[in-house]
A and B are shown apart, each in its own frame.
Chain A
Amino acid sequence: MKKIAALLSVFVLCLAMLSGCVTIETGSQTGGNAGSEVKEEPAYLFLDETLGVESYAIGFRIGDDELAETVSGALKALVLDGTYAKIGASYPDIEEYLCLTADGIDADSLPEKGSGDPDYTFKHGFDLDYPPYSYLQDDGSVGGLDVELCQAVCDYLGWGYEAVPFNWDAKDMELNAGSCDCIWSGFTKEGREDDYTWGITYSNNTQGILVAADSGIKTLEDLSGKVVGVQTATSAYDMLQDARADLAGTFADLKVYETYTIAYNDLKAGAIDAIAIDMTAGTFLISNDQK
């Protein structure tokens, strides 16, 4: 009898271990029929209605006006010489949101190429988990639109470049302690206008709602009584807490995640109905999943 009991509990432990061995794939759930030649409808899509628009800019320490001006000026110069558009073109998912154009830029007021102090190293602070603005690329190196733009700015001015990936929760402490010189990582300006010295706004973004295509959710009203996921400390989260709190009030529940990756897995598993996310990050999640 004891033997049987022992064997039984070992069996349970085995099961427990086995289920522990599952690998979580962000990989394709649709991958099962990926080989099929017919192009299928996308499994996940954005609602036509959006939550609102925001602008991405470079945040500097309060009082660092000169630095903010130099970096913004260099970025404008990169717009004029075409580098900005070239870097943008390598991120097709977000290219349309880049908002700087040559119109209205006064070439004479910009810093000269190579005019920076060659001994100065510009420390670029960013979240390493915010694709496609700043993230670990397929080859394991640090990359993303913001990283490439910042490197181009440093090259233009003749500065050294130093990547400072930090924990997003500690961004203000990192900046104020001087371990980085700017926050440049898909950083939303709205709602933080007075907290930083702001550099140039180089990209726009739209906050939207991502749902499964077959969920039957078509409008924001359909979200009433549904479970919606959002990443903590993002503009989508702030919007649902503040400007669109009325909408969030109709949800059955608002689940706050540490990262959108987990939220996306939950959406795929059917544990939540929708994700509030900005268009660029959402588009990146979907297209990366279908690779």
Chain B
Amino acid sequence: MTFQTMLASMSAGMLRSLAIFFLTLIFSLPLGMAVMYLRRSKYKVISGITKIYIAIMRGTPLMLQLLMWYFGPFYLFRWSIRGYRFPAIIIGFSMNYAAYFAEIYRSGYEAIPVGQFEAAEVLGYSRSQTFFKIILPQLVKTILPSITNEIITLVKDTSLAFTLAYNEMFSIAKQIASSQTSFVPFIIAGVFYFVMNYVVAFVMERAEKALAYY
């Protein structure tokens, strides 16, 4: 097998890895905000349950969670899971990453001095205005480095989707490495992850600079 053939079959897998990556970000970033809101709820029941949710999502391996999201509906309700593979992967990744993002958001939220809220109230801002106009811009600034960390982890975590027979890039690398008795696919995979993460770090650094307005 030539280098070109390897690269060609692996690039199909790269697209699948990227699909997980972007869809997970699209769903988990806003979902994390909602989880953070529930986690900070003044009702003990709501914040308590959310805490348990976060504890489970962070405390168990993502691979196990993927298995459960996929096979759960069948073993619990005997529903057909034909065609449910990709949705299950996205649900599993999004729910997991939302828990991490929620805690990052919370760290940013609680870092905001209480004087900001008081000032907004004095100026007659409503609660949603306070959040979107005063709090959110400051929050995003504070948490960007932590978010970058988490996104980089996500890039590498996409390889876990192979648990559910989803042929992302790293699983193809393993298949080629095995059938060709060659180490080259692993090197290609390493370069892919590195470039991908370099792009993430670059974009996030630009975002940080753009937000450094004071």
Contact = CB atoms under 8 A, between A and B. Distances in A.
B163 A10 contact: no
Nearest to A269: B74
A138 interface: no
Given A173-B183, A271-B84, A233 B175 contact: yes
Interface string A2-31: 010011011001101101111111000000
B165 A16 contact: no
B16 interface: no
A270 B81 contact: yes
Nearest to B55: A17
Interface in A252-274: 255-258, 262-263, 265-266, 269-271
Contacts of A7: 46
A156 interface: no
Contacts of A265: 71
A233 to B, nearest CB: 4
Contact of A19 (B38, B43, B69): B69
A24 B67 contact: yes
Contact of B165 (A24, A25, A172, A257): A257
A9 B82 contact: no
A43 B129 CA distance: 61
A106 interface: no
A256 B50 contact: no
B204 interface: no
A226 to B, nearest CB: 12
Contacts of A9: 34, 38
B179 A20 contact: no
A9 B56 CA distance: 17
Contacts of B56: 17, 20
A41 interface: no
Nearest to B91: A16
Contacts of A263: 165
Interface in B161-206: 162-165, 167, 171, 174-175, 177-179, 181, 183
B80 A270 contact: yes
Contacts of A255: 165
B163 A6 contact: no
A123 B11 CA distance: 38
Contacts of B46: 6-7, 10
Contacts of B213: none
Interface string B33-50: 011011001010110011
A262 B80 contact: no
A195 interface: yes
Nearest to B164: A262
B155 to A, nearest CB: 20
30 contacts: A6-B43, A6-B46, A10-B45, A10-B49, A14-B49, A17-B52, A20-B56, A20-B65, A20-B68, A20-B69, A22-B68, A24-B75, A25-B75, A172-B181, A173-B183, A229-B165, A232-B162, A232-B171, A232-B178, A238-B179, A256-B167, A258-B163, A258-B165, A262-B163, A262-B164, A269-B80, A269-B81, A270-B74, A270-B81, A271-B85
Interface of A: 3, 6-7, 9-10, 13-14, 16-17, 19-25, 168-169, 172-173, 192, 195, 229, 232-233, 237-238, 241, 255-258, 262-263, 265-266, 269-271
